[in-house]
Amino acid sequence: MSQTKDIRDAVERELSYDPLVDDSDISVKNINGDVALNGTVPSYPQYLGAGAAAQRVAGVKKLQNHLEVVLPAGDYRDDATLTTTANNALTVNVAVPDGVEATAKDGNITLTGIVTYGTGRTAAEQAVTHLTGVRNVKDDIAISTDADSVDVTLNVQDALDRYALIPDDSDVAVDTSGNTVTLTGHVRTFAEHDAVVDAAWMATGVYDVVDGLYVTG
């Protein structure tokens, strides 16, 4: 059996194994560890969950999530209702900074506003992800804190050195230009990948993270 079929079968089994993902309309393609998910799922959390399930599989080096969220009729919310619901969710969530707002169009939520840290953006995304009627979330939130690029690089590197998921001999490199952090190097799994990216977003003054990491699988 080829490695291509091995990885594809493993991803299909992982999707079937995950109780939070309905895999009945999902098809999997794999070319040398580059995995693509096609088809439909009934909710945005399942869209995210399917992608996370695929990334858990050994040998997956890259994921292209082409799944479309097709809401059941009872889950549809008009733009005004979903916009109001999303903004209420942002307001009551203490982890979301003041001033972040949501706008909905055809089930697609766009988040705007200004926060001090990347963690504020993450909290806003999580606040609206599981709302009924959401098909996608676009994060256009800006980060306002300025910081010296050298300090940002050192802070991110220190965080990586502390993370248990990242081995001591990791070749991950951090480069900061202005307020943009570029990450390069190799990681073994998507869990390591996400740990590196999360560490970069947590640093004060980071406006954007350019992901140049390579997952070896």
Residues 84 and 116 reside in one and the same domain:
yes
Mean pLDDT of 162-171: 82
Which of 69, 99, 116 lies at the terminal end of a domain, its last residue? 69
State the pLDDT confidence band at 178, using cuts at 50, 70 and 90. confident
Cβ atoms within 10 Å, residue 161: 11
Question: Nearest Cα to 209, choosing from 179, 172, 181?
Answer: 181
In the prediction, which pLDDT does 1 show? 40
List pLDDT tens digits, range 55-86.
Answer: 999 899 999 999 999 999 999 999 999 999 99
Which of 46, 69, 92 lies at the terminal end of a domain, its last residue? 69
What is this structure's pTM?
0.78
Mean pLDDT of 6-23: 96
Domain range for 53: 3-69
CATH number of the domain that residue 127 is part of:
3.30.1340
Q: State the pairing for strand pair 180-187/173-177.
A: antiparallel
In the prediction, which pLDDT does 4 show? 63
Which of 143, 158, 185 lies at the terminal end of a domain, its last residue? 143
CATH number of the domain that residue 8 is part of:
3.30.1340.30
Q: Report the percent of the chain where pLDDT is more than 70.
A: 97
State the pLDDT confidence band at 54, using cuts at 50, 70 and 90. very high
In the prediction, which pLDDT does 13 show? 97
What integer best gives the mean pLDDT of the chain? Answer: 91
Q: Is the pLDDT of residue 160 over 60?
A: yes
Residues 62 and 84 reside in one and the same domain:
no
List pLDDT tens digits, range 100-141.
Answer: 999 999 999 999 999 987 888 889 999 999 999 999 999 999
Q: Per the structure, how many domains does the chain have?
A: 3
